[in-house]
């Protein structure tokens, strides 16, 4: 087994935890008793049982545990909970080994989940569907955003959105993806047809037998056809709207009370100087207005004053 500093579980507990994001700087690992390490149901993001434990166990028997697992102190004194390394721990137990190299860290729930899922998602042998579920679990159960998850995984931001899109595929496509009948690239191509679930289901029976380029061409044809149908439907709806007779707006008539206000009003004509000052004041307000709506209001007031002035001049 890999040479590491050996210590009992009791000695491991007080070890100072590394700072956030400082895992790479830690060079001192501990050899923990497997009896003192707890695994929680649901921590692993893979579908079903952990795969290929026999192959991993054979590798560990020959070379030892190359990469220590990551654990954190459990609520039970002297016990530890696995954060990352479920497969390695299972393989070590299957070999009957009593200890395993581990890094003990102090982490809150968010960081434990982040570390566990990121480690699982980064594995090359993880299925696309399980990767998608792992990313969705990170988004749901942590405060991380898609961009931060991409950074944690060391991938482009598009990686995250592409995998999340897989979860919107119909169940038949998800089953084919899980069973290996559809590759990630084929499934990603089918996502271009979303939200048209029926189109995806109709294409499933032949999708797995098509090359990536052939499937892409067929999907591109379906997408173009769907856009054409949508455009024609929108054009027809617009033509129908134009053909319908327009309803004449009923003009509201002022009430007798409103008319009486102007009939009985006692007007006092303004002098030319007063009108000029009033118009200059509103022009300044128009120029300095902070919104187009206010400027339009001042323009209308100026127009009204101009009309009123012309009437008085007559």
Comparison of pLDDT for 313 and 285, the residue scoring more = 285
Residue 265 near residue 278, CB atoms below 8 Å = no
Higher pLDDT, 89 or 123: 89
DSSP 100-169: EEEEEE---HHHHHHHHHHHHHT-TTS-HHHHHHHHHHHHHHSS--HHHHHHHHTS-HHHHHHHHHHTTS
Of residues 29 and 171, more confidently modeled: 171
Cβ of 163: how many Cβ atoms within 10 Å?
25
Q: How many CB atoms lie within 10 A of CB 252?
A: 6
* Cβ atoms of residues 218 and 192 within 8 Å: no
Angle CA 196–201–207, to nearest 5:
115
Three-state DSSP at 183 gives coil
Average pLDDT, the chain: 76
Least confident of 119-128, 134-143, 184-193, 224-233: 119-128
Confidence (pLDDT) at 290 = 81
β-strands 99-105, 30-33 pairing: antiparallel
- Residue 17 — φ and ψ, nearest 5°? -80, 145
Among candidate residues 80, 79, 100, 78, the one with its CA nearest the CA of residue 90 = 100
Q: What is the pLDDT of residues 57-92, one digit of tens each?
A: 898 899 888 888 888 888 788 888 888 888 889 899
- Spell out the domain ranges in the chain: 5-107, 168-232, 268-313
The predicted pLDDT at position 171 comes to: 93
Return the CATH fold of 5-107.
3.90.1530
User: Residue 313: its pLDDT value, please?
Assistant: 43
Question: What's the pLDDT at 186?
Answer: 92
Number of C-beta neighbours around residue 98 at 10 A? 12
pLDDT at residue number 51: 55
pTM of the full predicted structure?
A: 0.50
- Per-residue confidence (pLDDT) for residue 227, from 0 to 100: 85
| 12-52 pLDDT tens trace | 333 333 333 434 434 357 889 999 998 765 555 454 445 56
Collapsing DSSP to helix, strand or coil, 20 comes out as coil
CA distance 240 to 170: 36
Q: Is pLDDT larger for residue 262 or for residue 233?
A: 233
């Amino acid at each position: 087994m890999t040479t590491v500093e050996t210590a009992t579980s009791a000695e491991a507990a007080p070890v100072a935890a590394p700072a956030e994001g400082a895992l790479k700087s830690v060079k001192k690992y501990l050899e923990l008793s497997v009896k003192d390490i707890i695994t929680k149901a649901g921590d692993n993001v893979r579908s079903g049982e952990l795969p290929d434990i026999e192959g991993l166990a054979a590798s560990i028997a020959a070379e030892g545990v190359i990469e220590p697992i990551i654990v954190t102190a459990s609520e039970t004194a002297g016990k530890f909970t696995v954060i990352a390394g479920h497969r390695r721990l299972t393989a070590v137990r299957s070999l009957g080994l009593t200890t395993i190299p581990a890094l003990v860290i102090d982490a809150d729930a968010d960081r434990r989940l982040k570390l566990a899922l990121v480690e699982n998602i980064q594995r090359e042998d993880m299925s696309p569907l399980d990767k998608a579920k792992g990313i969705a679990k990170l988004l749901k159960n942590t405060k991380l955003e898609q961009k931060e998850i991409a950074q944690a995984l060391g991938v482009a931001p598009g990686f995250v959105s592409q995998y999340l899109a897989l979860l919107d595929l119909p169940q038949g496509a998800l089953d084919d993806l899980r069973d290996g009948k559809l590759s990630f690239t084929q499934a990603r191509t089918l996502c271009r047809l979303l939200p048209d679930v029926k189109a995806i289901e109709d294409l499933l029976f032949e999708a797995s037998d098509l090359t990536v380029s052939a499937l892409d061409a067929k999907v591109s044809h379906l997408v173009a056809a769907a856009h054409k149908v949508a455009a024609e439907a929108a054009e027809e709806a617009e033509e129908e709207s134009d053909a319908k007779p327009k309803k004449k707006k009923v003009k509201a008539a002022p009430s007798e009370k409103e008319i009486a206000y102007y009939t009985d009003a006692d007007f006092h004509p303004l002098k030319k100087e007063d009108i000029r000052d009033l118009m200059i004041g509103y022009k300044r307000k128009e120029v300095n207005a902070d919104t187009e709506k206010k400027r339009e209001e001042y323009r209308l007031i100026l127009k009204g004053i101009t009309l009123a002035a012309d009437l008085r001049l007559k």
